[in-house]
Structure 1
C-alpha cells in the first residue's frame, strides 16, 4: 500500500510543502527538553485517564449536550478513534462517504471491515440527508459527516445535521460526526456541532475530535470519540485490544493543553488572516476559482478552467508533479479526495513560508518561472 497523499514527507530540494494537515502557526512557548519519566508507569485505562476524560467532557459540553466523562474514548489520534467506532458500527456493511472526502477515509473504512460508498456531492456544499437516502442500501451501516470538511472546508448547517441524525436513527444507521476541524475558530466563530442538537448524545451518533488542529498539536497524536450505549462499549472493547491505552505522558500533555481555554483562539486568529490573503491571491489567477472555505485549514481551488485553457501539456498530464518539479511547491491532487480538477493546500503555515509557497504557485499558474 502506498503512503497517504497527505502524509508528512520530505519533498527536498527547497520545495515549499503546502500538503499536510498539521497546524504550524507559532502559538506554543518554547520549552527546554523534558526529563524522561522514570517513575512507575502502569498501563493506562483503555478509554483514557480520568483526568483527561473529564477535561474533554467539559470541553465538549458547550452546546445543548451534557457530555459525561464516561462517554469519552481517548485514542492515539482521531483516525484511530474513527477506526474503532466504524468497526464497532459497520463491520461487514457499507459506510456512506460524501464527496469530496478526506483521502484516508476509504482506507480507514476498509480497515474497519466495511466498504466505503462514495456519495456524490458538490465542492463547498455540506452533507444533505436526501443525498444519503438516495445512496442507502440494505447494507448501509454508517455514514461519515465531516464538517468543516477536509478538503474543501464545507460546513453542514445545523438543520441538515439534525436531518441526517433523524434519518439515520429512523433507518438504524450510525453517524460518525467528524468535527476535528470545527475546533479552529476561523473568522472568530465555530461551525455548528452535532452536540448542539441533543441533550444526550443518541446511541446511533458519535462525535470525533482531537487536538491536532484546534490546539496545533498534530505531533502529539491524540484524539477522542464521544459515544454512548452499546456503540461506546464495542468501541472501547476494540480499543482495549488494538491500543491498550494512550501513553500516560501524552495524556498529561494533552490535559495541560485542554486546560488552556485561550489556545484555540490564538490558533484561529493568524489562520483567518492567512486564509483571507491566500484565497484572494489564488482567486485572482485567470482560470482559477478559489472561494474562502467555511471552516478548516485548507483551500481547495478549482483549476479546471486553467487546465483546459491555459496549462502547458506537462501540467495537464500531472499538475501536482509539474508544480513540484518545475516550481518547487507541493500541493495535493483533488482526485485523492474524489474531486479531480482541484488541488488542496494548507494555509496553516507561518505567514512568510505560506507567502513564499503562494508566490510560487501563482507564478506557475500565471505562466511565470520558478518562485
Structure 2
C-alpha cells in the first residue's frame, strides 16, 4: 500500500505559501545567471555591502575561540545590553536587557512573537497591504488573519475607525509596521499615538515591526508606538534587526523586545528551535548597533535619490497611480486603471498577469500585489543601482505605453 502524496506532509506546512518576494528574486537571479539582462525590482535588501568596520569586527570574532562554542540562547549579554542602549538612543525609551531576545533574523522574531501570543481561534488585525510573511506566521500559530485594507487614496494607512470596525471579542493582536513593507508608508506621530491608545483601551496586543526605522524621507519621521503610548509597553512586542539599516540581510540577526513573560516563552521556544544565533554574526551586530549612524545616513541618501527618480518615472506611465513612499525602499503603485485592458494580445486581469508580462516581455522583475493582499498593485524596490533603476523603469515605460 502506498501513501497518498496529500498525506505525506502535514496539513500545517502544506498550507504555507512560498515567499512571493523570494520567488520573484530567485527567478530574476536565475535568468541573470543564464545571461539574460534582467533588472530586478523584487529584492527587499540593500544593494550596498556591509560597512567595512562591521566586517572587520566579524573577522576578529572568527579568530576568538570563545565564538566557536554555544552561548546563551537568549543572545550574548553584551549584545542585549547594546540593543537596550540603542533603543534608548533611537526610540527614546528605556528597555531592560533581560527583555531582549536575539533571534536568527527578523523573520524568526516575527514567528516567535505570534507563537508566544496567539492561540487557535485568536484573531490578528493585519493592515493591508502587508509583508508576505505575516499571514503565514499567524496561521502557523493557529490564529486567524483579519485584513484591514487601506488603498492608494489613503496612502495605504489604516485608521482607528477601520480597526475598531474589524475588532471582535476574538481580537488578540494588531500587527503594526511603520515604515511599511511593502508600501513605504509612514504613520505620523499623531496617527501612531491614536492607534496605540486604541489598542491600550481595548486590551489589544501590538506587534510592531520597526526594521525600517532609520529609512525615512522628506518630513516623515519614525515614531515608536511605545514612546507615543508608554503604558502600552506591557502589551507590545517590538521586532527589529540589523538587516535593512546596516545592509546585513545575510548575517541573520534580529531581536524581540517585550514583557518578561512573553520573552521568557519565546526564549524557551528558541532554545529548542535554534539555540543561539551565530556568535560571529552577533559580534558583527554588536559593532553595528553600538556605532554611529554615519554609514546608515550615507545609504539613506542614495535610497532617497533613487526613490525620487523611481516615483517621477512611474508617474509618467498612464494607468499607474503612484503615492509618494516616505519610508523603507519600496514604491507601491496601483495599476487598477489598467485592469481589463490588453497588452500585446493579453488581457490584464490582475497584477500577477501584468507582472508576468513585464518579466517575459522586457525582462524586468516586479512583485505583484497578490503577494501582499489584494490584486491591483505592484511592488518595486529601489534598492538597486541608479543606472539599473533607470534602465528597468524605461523598459517598463516603453512596454506599458502599448496598453490599450
Residue 329 of structure 2 corresponds to residue 297 of structure 1: yes
Of residues 282, 297, 303, the one that matches 1:265 is 297
Residue 88 of structure 2 corresponds to residue 56 of structure 1: no
State the distance in 2 between where 1:260 and 1:189 align.
Answer: 24
How far did 1:188 drift? 8.0
What is the match of residue 18 of structure 2? 3
SS at match of 1:344: strand
Residue 279 of structure 2 corresponds to residue 279 of structure 1: no
What is the match of residue 397 of structure 2? 362
Of residues 176, 193, 203, the one that matches 1:145 is 176
State the distance in 1 between where 2:397 and 2:51 align.
Answer: 31
Bigger mean CA deviation after superposition, 300-309 or 214-223: 300-309
Question: 1:204-262: per-residue Cα shift (whole Å, max 9, x none)?
Answer: 01111111111111111111111123222222222222221111111011112223312
How far did 1:309 drift? 4.7
SS at match of 2:238: strand
SS at match of 1:125: coil
Count of aligned residue pairs for this structure pair = 368
What is the match of residue 5 of structure 2? none
Of residues 105, 110, 113, the one that matches 1:82 is 110
Question: 1:1-33: per-residue Cα shift (whole Å, max 9, x none)?
Answer: 542110141241332111010111356349799
Q: Could you say if the C-alpha distance between residues 307 and 127 of structure 1 is closer, same or farther in structure 2, counting changes exceeding 3 Å?
A: closer
The answer to whether the Cα contact below 8 Å between 2:342 and 2:348 also exists between their aligned partners in 1 is no
What is the match of residue 374 of structure 2? 339
Residue 270 of structure 2 corresponds to residue 239 of structure 1: yes
Superposition TM-score, scaled by structure 2 size: 0.84
Alignment of structure 1 residues 18-167 onto 2, 5 Å: 18-25=41-48, 28-29=51-52, 34=59, 37=63, 39-40=65-66, 41-62=68-89, 63-92=91-120, 93-123=122-152, 124-167=155-198
The answer to whether the Cα contact below 8 Å between 1:95 and 1:141 also exists between their aligned partners in 2 is yes
State the distance in 2 between where 1:103 and 1:58 align.
Answer: 31
The answer to whether the Cα contact below 8 Å between 2:184 and 2:325 also exists between their aligned partners in 1 is yes
Question: 1:87-120: per-residue Cα shift (whole Å, max 9, x none)?
Answer: 1111221111111111121111112232212122
SS at match of 2:288: helix
SS at match of 1:143: strand
The answer to whether the Cα contact below 8 Å between 1:149 and 1:181 also exists between their aligned partners in 2 is yes
Q: Could you say if the C-alpha distance between residues 76 and 26 of structure 1 is closer, same or farther in structure 2, counting changes exceeding 3 Å?
A: closer
Q: Could you say if the C-alpha distance between residues 188 and 325 of structure 1 is closer, same or farther in structure 2, counting changes exceeding 3 Å?
A: same
State the distance in 2 between where 1:291 and 1:188 align.
Answer: 15
State the distance in 2 between where 1:193 and 1:313 align.
Answer: 48
The answer to whether the Cα contact below 8 Å between 2:338 and 2:348 also exists between their aligned partners in 1 is no
SS at match of 1:186: coil
Bigger mean CA deviation after superposition, 199-208 or 94-103: 199-208
What is the match of residue 4 of structure 2? none
The answer to whether the Cα contact below 8 Å between 1:283 and 1:291 also exists between their aligned partners in 2 is no
Superposition TM-score, scaled by structure 1 size: 0.91
Give unpaired runs (5+ residues) of structure 2. Answer: 1-15
The answer to whether the Cα contact below 8 Å between 1:175 and 1:206 also exists between their aligned partners in 2 is yes
Give unpaired runs (5+ residues) of structure 1. Answer: none
RMSD (CA atoms): 2.4
Q: Could you say if the C-alpha distance between residues 199 and 97 of structure 1 is closer, same or farther in structure 2, counting changes exceeding 3 Å?
A: closer
What is the match of residue 8 of structure 2? none
Q: Could you say if the C-alpha distance between residues 277 and 51 of structure 1 is closer, same or farther in structure 2, counting changes exceeding 3 Å?
A: same
What is the match of residue 6 of structure 2? none
Structure with the higher fraction of residues in helix conformation: 2
Bigger mean CA deviation after superposition, 346-355 or 116-125: 116-125
